[in-house]
Amino acid sequence: MMDYTLDERDRYEKSISKLMRASQSPSGYGRDVINATLDDLISIDYMNARFIRSESLNPVICKTTHLIPLDDDLLLTKFSQWLATVANNKDVRFNKVTIDTLCRFLLQAFHQSPEWAQPEILRAVGAVLYENGAGCPQFLDELLLSGVEEGLLILLLRSSNSEVKRTAMQCIGNVCMKNESGDVIDELYLKSGYQNVLSVLHEGHDTTEDDTTYLRLLLASLKCLQNILGASKTVHMSDLGKVLAALKSFMLLGLPGIGINPPVQPSLLPSSFFMQEKSPAANSPSRKDIKDVTSTPSTGKKSKRKPKRGKQTKEAETGDVSMATGGESSNAVSDDVDVFERSWPVPGKISSSESEYSDTEGGVMSKLRSLSGKVRHASLGCLHTLFKNTEKKVLFGYWSFFVPDAPLAVAGGPPPQTLFTSILKENNAKCRAGSVMVLSALLEGSKQFLFAAEERENNQTAFTAFSQTLVSMIKEIHRCLQLSLAAETYGSNITQIIKCMSILVSNVPYHKLNKGLLNKVVRSMKPFYQHKDNRVRTACLTCLGAVVSASAPLPEVFELLTDTKFTKGDGSETLFTRQDRREGPLSWRDDPEESKVKDKKRTDREGMSWLLQWCSDIITGGEEPVKDPLSTIEVLPVRLEALQVLTQIIKHYFDLVHPYLGQLTVVIQTCLMRGDDDQVRLHGLKVLEELGKSMLQKLTEETVSGSKLAVHQVVEVWNGVLSGALPSVLQDTSHLVLQASACDCLGTIGPLTMEILPVHHRILIMTVLLGLVNEEDYRLKMASIRALGIIVQYPCLREDVTFVADTANAILGCMQHSSINVRMRAAWSLGNLCDALHSNIQNGDCNFLQAFSELLLQRLLEAAVNGAADHDKVKSNSVRALGLLGRILEAHTLKKSVFQSLINKAVQVLLRNINTGAMKVRWNSCYALGNFFRNPNLPADGGAWQEDIFTSFTKLLVSCKNFKLCQAIVHLSGILNKEDICVILQDTIQMEKEELLITNIKSYASTLRDQKSKTSGNDEDRLFDAAQALRKLESAIENTSTLLQGISESQQQVIMRGLEAAMKNVSMSAPESQEQMN
């Protein structure tokens, strides 16, 4: 092989040198040298050649264009062949000068060449313009312009020469292709190419052409269409029904009973109701149909089909290679099986080989089978790209043409031609995989549309409701996918089907359907849980994770996961036997001590959910001790997917995990101690974080079994992970992401658990977090400052003056960070810190502030004032902190000039935030000012800023249309000085604002009524908050009635009419909670 490569390199370098030395000679000697040199260059294998350098090749090509006369057809043809051949090499890149020179030369040569030479020149043009169309705008008018003066390639699409027509189509596809940088040609030229390609697809089979010629033209047209669809997301929108009609016909071309010339409907019309489509192919499928070019007559034995699929796939991989698929599809398809990207051996160049099959009848049929399979595959590739690039709400109207809405036995008549026709009847494995991927693209993001499905017990109505039609469609998709999964034999296709089922499960509202669908999904995958292909096992776990997350929690899923009979196979062996995919036995002899350990572990796991047990075995390597540990360790993708499934189980079905917290702790420790695999450690931390959240939530709730989660159980979990595994991650400075994730875990411990934890563990947590907050990495700062903001509120820690002071200093440092995300988290923690200070005072700890540094209080107040003038994300919590600080400041502190100045600045910045900015900031600012008035140490006689507050409140009450903000203002009015309110009402409420006041109050009520109509019957919390809001508003009206002395009668009437109207309408509504936004 080495000698062959060196020989090829020598021939190439010698030929290139000859071309560089060659010159045109009147005697013809120079022409003979060029002719012989081109022959040598054409004979070299460029496909995998590593010796070609674009830097040296480009000058040679440019010089050759000057050596070949435009009237020398033979040299032009050979030069074109060499260009098309050398362009197949992935390392060859033509520069801008070379591309311009070649395009100009080849186009001039084309106009002077005879018809027999035109296909070769067009192939060379296509090879040069492959992914380079956007860089040659000066040639686009000449090539693609539509209108009075049509471009060359557009004119050639109407040529009588089928080879010229096909190569012109390939050139259009290459010109329209998106390049590596994402650049495409102008939309005008894309539209021109698209319209002409669509016209060719709708022309049908010309009776003067043979089947092979027609299929080759179809294949080139479909690949060209996919390139155009991949280059633009809008070019197809005006003719969406037309292109879908063509693609739907060609995706089934050659299948049993359809033939190679299926009729193409003019267009598909979208419909919100999925009416049964009448298929143009009315004949029932027959494998003996003379038009069946995809299969041979069947003997009726089931065992015959499996080897046939493998043979068909092998045949589909050979044949004509003309052009690559669209650039967009490479990003849209699966990572595991890149069906549309790897279909054709040569990526994107043009070939004209006709010698791959013999001329016998069997050879012709083999060619037809191969070409028809490629046409179907190319059509599916176009559909995949189109579905990815089209809005889901637009596609939803066409679902009935691609997805059945009833079983064939129920529908009656001829079977509908849908994607499942291809999935279930296709013999080409790649086409089956392509069909599944198209279905996945159609289902992805459909949750908002499928949510309308609802299954009712009594369906005897005069018409079929839309919701019931969706139910039938969902059930049929489930049924067909399970059938295809049972019949599939290729591991890559099994993976695609299971992934498609995962997408389906993620988008279907199972809580509105009768139980049973998810059970069938899980059981249909049962034979593949221990498949030898790790991609299949990974896909199974992905689908199980989707089942666990689907409309969770569902009684059906809970029953399925607790089914003790599910893991039993046909015999005595269990479902999860590793011998199915491992070579050799697990162990050849059991040690007595090992047997005791096994028995104990089985006892501890008795009653554990089979899925929980399976995931634990995958992560830890199984329950059976093995001499060689590596023999039981799963591949990384499977372990990571098992960890994600475990996270979903903990999140949605904690009752399954509750009795086995000890085993789960071992699983987490096993992950965290794997120092050689950072991904496993990271996912193990995610499991721990979700476990901490669930335990914190369930600590006081009653489980389904009637037992409560005890605090000591939670403490055991945290003691286990804090005894070595978690601290090792927190102190591993080489993995900052892991450290940040570990900080997030510490934020889920909870106050009750923290209080019971051993002192050394509490000290460890505080010390580590305070140390990590000083690191430079912004992600680590965000996570650690957030964790500090959580634990500083815990009663056992907020009374520690030293810890609170250290936390305050850490927050002050982060408030000055350049990253907005760090400052946002620091502002949130600052609000929590101030809340902790207020809680200490509320609980009677009056000495806490005296032990707290006034200088630190001053710095906190300054940081809050600065944060209140920062970004909206920082403001919302900074104003919260300002209010709490203003509420707790003591009299002797407020007497100091520096604090008086800060209070005035705080009031001014709060007033600015009340009048402008995000509504969340304005609402919190109202509450902050309310907290100022709750501090009895603030001067009662007020100052200029108090009058500013009153004026701002009354103006907002008149002009603001947001009911939450008005609620905050009304709530604040209950704590204001009554005499001040009377003065403000006299000075600010004017007659010209009477109608505006009433109009705004009525608009608030109208908004609340709309909220009421959207409130579900189970939303008892919001209704309770509405009752509280009503009582506060009633109190405000009563207080206002006693304060109207000294106000004119007309103004009194305005106020009372407006407040009465508000109360009347609020009583009919359900406003949102008045709790302050944190």
Backbone angles phi, psi at 128, to 5 degrees: -70, -40
The token pair that represents 1076 in the structure block: 């302050």
Question: Closest Cα to residue 355, out of 317, 318, 310, 313?
Answer: 318
The rounded distance, in Å, linking the Cα atoms of 522 and 554 is 14
Q: Cα dist. 711→91, 698, 699, 1015 in Å? A: 65, 10, 7, 36
The rounded distance, in Å, linking the Cα atoms of 626 and 597 is 12
**Residue pLDDT, tens place only, 103-155:** 999 999 999 999 899 999 999 999 999 988 888 889 999 998 876 678 899 99
In 3-state terms, what secondary structure has residue 610? Answer: helix
Taking residue 706's Cβ as centre, other Cβ atoms within 10 Å add up to 6
**Cβ-contact 792, 832 below 8 angstroms:** yes
What angle, rounded to 10 degrees, do the helices at 118-128 and 96-112 form?
A: 160
- Residue 607 is given by DSSP the state T
Q: Which amino acid is at 920?
A: K
Give rounded-to-5 percent helix, strand, coil for the chain: 65, 0, 35
Ranges of each domain in the chain: 965-1066
Statement: residue 208 has pLDDT above 80: no
Statement: residue 757 has pLDDT above 60: yes
For residue 36, what are the β-bridge partners? none
The rounded distance, in Å, linking the Cα atoms of 837 and 807 is 12
Q: What is the pLDDT of residue 798?
A: 92
Q: What is the mean pLDDT of residues 585-601?
A: 45
**Residue pLDDT, tens place only, 849-906:** 888 888 999 999 999 999 999 999 999 999 999 999 999 988 888 888 899 899 889 9
226-260 in b/e form (b: 16+ CB < 10 A) is bbbbbbbeebbeebbbbbbbbbbbbbbbbbbbbbb
Q: What is the pLDDT of residue 150?
A: 83
Give the position of tokens 């499991």.
687
More confidently predicted of 585 and 252:
252
The rounded distance, in Å, linking the Cα atoms of 886 and 905 is 12
Question: Closest Cα to residue 742, out of 755, 725, 758, 759?
Answer: 725
Half-sphere exposure of 1026 (CA within 13 A, CB side): 20
The rounded distance, in Å, linking the Cα atoms of 802 and 794 is 14
Q: Cα dist. 570→248, 520, 567, 609, 691 in Å? A: 42, 18, 10, 20, 35
Per-residue confidence band for 668, with pLDDT thresholds at 50, 70 and 90: very high
**Cβ-contact 191, 243 below 8 angstroms:** no
Residue 24: which region, alpha, beta or left (left: phi > 0; alpha: psi -120 to 50)?
beta
Percent of the residues in the chain that have a pLDDT greater than 70, as a whole number: 71
Is the bond preceding residue 553 a cis peptide, omega within 30 degrees? yes
Taking residue 225's Cβ as centre, other Cβ atoms within 10 Å add up to 31
Q: What is the pLDDT of residue 915?
A: 80
Q: Which amino acid is at 910?
A: L
Give the position of tokens 């002071």.
805
64-74 in b/e form (b: 16+ CB < 10 A) is bbebbeeebbe
Q: What is the pLDDT of residue 925?
A: 86
The rounded distance, in Å, linking the Cα atoms of 988 and 985 is 6
For residue 702, what are the β-bridge partners? 708
Statement: residue 458 has pLDDT above 90: no
The rounded distance, in Å, linking the Cα atoms of 135 and 696 is 59
Question: Closest Cα to residue 405, out of 469, 314, 360, 479?
Answer: 469
Q: Please, what sign has the CA dihedral across residues 100, 105, 110, 112?
A: positive
**Residue pLDDT, tens place only, 240-251:** 999 999 999 999
Q: What is the DSSP string of 2-34?
A: HHHHHHHHHHHHHHHHHHHH----TTSHHHHHH
Half-sphere exposure of 209 (CA within 13 A, CB side): 20
Cα dihedral 1014, 1017, 1019, 1023 in deg (nearest 10): 90
Question: Closest Cα to residue 498, out of 547, 553, 545, 542?
Answer: 542
The token pair that represents 431 in the structure block: 């086409």
**Cβ-contact 822, 833 below 8 angstroms:** no
Q: What is the pLDDT of residue 226?
A: 94
Question: Closest Cα to residue 345, out of 311, 379, 314?
Answer: 314
How many helices and strands (H and E) does the chain possess? 53, 0
Statement: residue 334 has pLDDT above 60: no
**Distance between start and end Cα atoms, the chain:** 70
Q: Which amino acid is at 954?
A: T
The rounded distance, in Å, linking the Cα atoms of 563 and 549 is 18
Question: Closest Cα to residue 887, out of 827, 938, 961, 818?
Answer: 938
More confidently predicted of 277 and 968:
968
**Cβ-contact 714, 705 below 8 angstroms:** no
In 3-state terms, what secondary structure has residue 568? Answer: strand
**Residue pLDDT, tens place only, 26-62:** 455 678 888 898 998 888 877 666 777 878 888 889 9
Backbone angles phi, psi at 676, to 5 degrees: -90, -5
Per-residue confidence band for 576, with pLDDT thresholds at 50, 70 and 90: low
What angle, rounded to 10 degrees, do the helices at 162-175 and 118-128 form?
A: 10
Q: What is the pLDDT of residue 235?
A: 92
pTM of the model: 0.79
Give the position of tokens 């039993």.
568
The rounded distance, in Å, linking the Cα atoms of 1036 and 764 is 51
**Residue pLDDT, tens place only, 373-428:** 999 999 999 999 999 999 998 999 999 899 987 765 555 567 788 999 999 999 99
Statement: residue 808 has pLDDT above 90: yes
Statement: residue 308 has pLDDT above 70: no
Rounded to a whole number of angstroms, the CA Rg of the chain reads 37
The token pair that represents 856 in the structure block: 């630190």
Burial of 182 per CB tally in 10 Å (0-12, 13-18, 19+):
exposed
More confidently predicted of 808 and 461:
808
Statement: residue 494 has pLDDT above 80: yes
Backbone angles phi, psi at 909, to 5 degrees: -70, -30
Look at 26-35, 540-549, 714-723, 1066-1075 and tell me which has the smallest mean pLDDT: 1066-1075
The rounded distance, in Å, linking the Cα atoms of 1013 and 1069 is 8
Q: What is the mean pLDDT of residues 329-347?
A: 41
The rounded distance, in Å, linking the Cα atoms of 630 and 642 is 18
Q: What is the mean pLDDT of residues 266-288?
A: 51
HEC secondary structure over 982-1024? HHHHHHHCCHHHHHHHHHHHHHHHHHHHHHHHCCCCCCHHHHH
**Cβ-contact 469, 274 below 8 angstroms:** yes
**Cβ-contact 99, 128 below 8 angstroms:** yes
Look at 32-46, 172-186, 626-640, 713-727 and tell me which has the smallest mean pLDDT: 626-640
Residue 146: which region, alpha, beta or left (left: phi > 0; alpha: psi -120 to 50)?
beta
In 3-state terms, what secondary structure has residue 608? Answer: coil
- Residue 183 is given by DSSP the state -
Per-residue confidence band for 1018, with pLDDT thresholds at 50, 70 and 90: very low
Q: Which of 159-163, 351-355, 686-690 has the highest mean pLDDT?
A: 686-690
What is the pLDDT of the chain when averaged over all its residues? 78
**Cβ-contact 960, 916 below 8 angstroms:** no
Q: What is the mean pLDDT of residues 1049-1061?
A: 54
Statement: residue 439 has pLDDT above 80: yes
The rounded distance, in Å, linking the Cα atoms of 320 and 220 is 10
How far does Cα 384 stand from its chain's mean position? 17
Q: Cα dist. 57→64, 69, 94, 95 in Å? A: 11, 20, 8, 10
The rounded distance, in Å, linking the Cα atoms of 1001 and 1061 is 7
Q: What is the pLDDT of residue 884?
A: 93
Look at 44-58, 264-278, 778-792 and tell me which has the smallest mean pLDDT: 264-278
Per-residue confidence band for 961, with pLDDT thresholds at 50, 70 and 90: low
**Residue pLDDT, tens place only, 696-720:** 998 877 554 556 788 999 999 999 9
